[in-house]
Amino acid sequence: MLTARAAVLLDAGGDPQLTDVQLREPVGDEVLVRIDAVGICHTDISVAARFRKLPMVFGHEGAGTVVAAGPRAARRVGEQVVLTFASCGVCSNCAAGRPAYCDHATDLNMRGGRRDESSALRLDGAPITAGFFGQSSFATHAIARSRSAVAVPESIDPAVAAPLGCSVQTGVGAVLNVLTPEPGDPFVVFGAGAVGLSAVMAARIAGCRTIVAVDPIEQRRTLATELGATATIDPTTSDVVAEVVELTGGAGAAVDTTARPDVIAAAVGALRTRGSLALVGLGALTAELPVALIMGKGLAVRGVVEGDSEPQTFIPRLAALHRRGELPLDKVVTTYPFDDFDRAWAAAKAGEVVKPVLVTGA
Ligand SMILES: NC(=O)c1ccc[n+]([C@@H]2O[C@H](COP(=O)([O-])OP(=O)(O)OC[C@H]3O[C@@H](n4cnc5c(N)ncnc54)[C@H](O)[C@@H]3O)[C@@H](O)[C@H]2O)c1
Ligand SMILES: [Zn+2]
Ligand SMILES: [Zn+2]
């Protein structure tokens, strides 16, 4: 048993608290990872708000160093890794190279491991729920299976590598893996948080000449412009659909990260003939969509989980894009010492920072 420091959610509806937990040894193909940096994703906040199988450790954008490996682990001690979502590896979607749509994705990622001896984490000696997105990395150490641990070059700063595991691969993958816009396709993103800004950077990589970012927060619109947006729209003062159509003649490709039914309906209305909208936000269970318009214009509305990524190949590709200066994530990340978890969590909840990343060595 190893003692680690973790942010543990103890009370329903509360905020995680830093406390000591115990981790067992890695078994099978698991690795024990010393977490060097971990990002806070909006999904941590929204799932924590309604999670009931407590105590629980969230965190699913861990980056760190392998310090122990199970007998069948694919990663070696000393390797730098990015932790990413879990998948079973054997269902038909995993076999087809689509692990984000694993038949067991919800159980493996959203629910955490069972609260029995199979849990890797204990609090005061008793097993607790863990394994959020195959990791539970709001901690100084985490256990993950090899499929969720992706080797990355040592040269990448862990604070920048951490969000590659979820929000960056989601935003970039929605554009480069799913929408695949042509340079002439005007691109629009609704919501310029970490996912939306990643989509903006990807649209620039794809060569899109017109890139529009919509967000009510001025600082995020400014950041979007720095990262490649050619125009921005404040939805609180503009008729967004009319403005998108005026700027672009209708979007060829669009991403919704807001998960707001009204925004999703508006996003469909802002598409040009045969345009596509990717839905990545978590929150809206239903939305009223203009079906006649979707049919008549041949529009596509497509859900996207984790950017449709196959992480073992896509995350190294993202790291290479960063190295070439094409994913300037340093502009998006704000680091906090791990001990300042409370401050980072509050800032993330309030939307004051785009991508808070906790750094353990600080
Ligand atoms: N599908 C996936 O695999 C996946 C992966 C990661 C995150 N997510 C989800 O994606 C969403 C985005 O994540 P994030 O971390 O970027 O969150 P975020 O909260 O930082 O970003 C959402 C943005 O939408 C903006 N917004 C609010 N109202 C708006 C409006 N009317 N018009 C335009 N913009 C508006 C907010 O100001 C904010 O900047 C979350 O719901 C998250 O849970 C999904
Ligand atoms: Zn599977
Ligand atoms: Zn996430």
Q: What percent of the chain has pLDDT over 90?
A: 94
Residue pLDDT, tens place only, 83-93: 999 999 999 99
68, β-bridge pairs: 32
168-306 and 2-151+332-359 share a CATH fold: no
- Determine the distance separating the centroid of ligand 2 and the alpha carbon of 97, expressed in angstroms: 9
Residue pLDDT, tens place only, 41-50: 999 999 999 9
Cα distance between residue 83 and residue 161, in whole Å: 9
For ligand 1, residues with CB inside 6 Å are 41-43, 46, 166-167, 170, 190-196, 214-217, 220, 235, 257-260, 263, 280-283, 304-306, 351
Q: What pLDDT was estimated at residue 74?
A: 97
Find out whether 269 and 214 touch, Cβ atoms under 8 Å.
no
For ligand 1, mutation pick of 215, 239, 333 (most atoms within 8 Å of CB):
215
CA 128 vs. chain centroid, Å, equals: 24
Domain extent listing, the chain: 2-151+332-359, 168-306
Minimum-distance ligand 1 atom for the alpha carbon of 192:
39
Q: What pLDDT was estimated at residue 129?
A: 87
Residue pLDDT, tens place only, 286-306: 999 999 999 999 999 999 999
Q: What is the mean pLDDT of residues 211-222?
A: 98
Q: What pLDDT was estimated at residue 78?
A: 97
Amino acid (1-letter code) at residue 33: V
- Strand stretches in the chain, DSSP E: 2-9, 17-23, 30-39, 56-57, 62-69, 80-83, 121-123, 126-127, 141-145, 149-151, 187-190, 211-214, 231-233, 251-256, 271-279, 300-303, 333-337, 355-359
Q: Which CATH architecture has domain 168-306?
A: 3-Layer(aba) Sandwich (3.40)
Q: What pLDDT was estimated at residue 119?
A: 86
pLDDT band for position 362 (cuts 50, 70, 90): low
Looking up tokens 């509305």, which residue turns up? 301
CA 210 vs. chain centroid, Å, equals: 25
Find the angle CA(278)-CA(280)-CA(282) to the nearest 5 degrees.
145
Closest CA to 316 of 196, 193, 155: 155
Cα distance between residue 307 and residue 195, in whole Å: 10
DSSP letter string, 14-31:
S--EEEEEEE----TTEE
Q: What pLDDT was estimated at residue 113?
A: 62
Cα distance between residue 82 and residue 312, in whole Å: 10
Residue pLDDT, tens place only, 110-157: 877 655 557 899 999 999 988 999 999 999 999 999 999 999 999 999
- Strand stretches in 164-298, DSSP E: 187-190, 211-214, 231-233, 251-256, 271-279
pLDDT band for position 236 (cuts 50, 70, 90): very high
CATH superfamily of 2-151+332-359: Medium-chain alcohol dehydrogenases, catalytic domain (3.90.180.10)
Q: What percent of the chain has pLDDT over 70?
A: 98
Confidence (pTM) = 0.97
Average pLDDT, the chain: 96
Ligand closest to 88 (CA) is: 2
DSSP letter string, 43-85:
HHHHHHHH--S-SEE----EEEEEEEE-TT-SS-TT-EEEE--
Residue pLDDT, tens place only, 47-70: 999 998 899 999 999 999 999 999
Find out whether 132 and 29 touch, Cβ atoms under 8 Å.
no
Would you state the structure tokens that stand for residue 293, as one six-digit string?
A: 């318009």
Find out whether 172 and 146 touch, Cβ atoms under 8 Å.
no
Closest CA to 260 of 284, 236, 234, 238: 284
- Determine the distance separating the centroid of ligand 1 and the alpha carbon of 12, expressed in angstroms: 23
| Pairing outcome for strands 333-337 and 355-359 | parallel
Question: Would you call 225 exposed, middle or buried from its count of C-beta atoms within 10 A (0-12, 13-18, 19+)?
Answer: middle
Cα distance between residue 182 and residue 326, in whole Å: 18
- Determine the distance separating the centroid of ligand 1 and the alpha carbon of 266, expressed in angstroms: 16
pLDDT band for position 361 (cuts 50, 70, 90): confident
- Determine the distance separating the centroid of ligand 1 and the alpha carbon of 52, expressed in angstroms: 23
Q: What pLDDT was estimated at residue 114?
A: 54
Find out whether 201 and 327 touch, Cβ atoms under 8 Å.
yes
Residue 259 has pLDDT above 90, yes or no: yes
Would you state the structure tokens that stand for residue 261, as one six-digit string?
A: 């039914």
Q: What pLDDT was estimated at residue 284?
A: 87
Question: Would you call 59 exposed, middle or buried from its count of C-beta atoms within 10 A (0-12, 13-18, 19+)?
Answer: buried
Q: How many alpha carbons fall within 13 Å on the CB side of residue 14?
A: 13
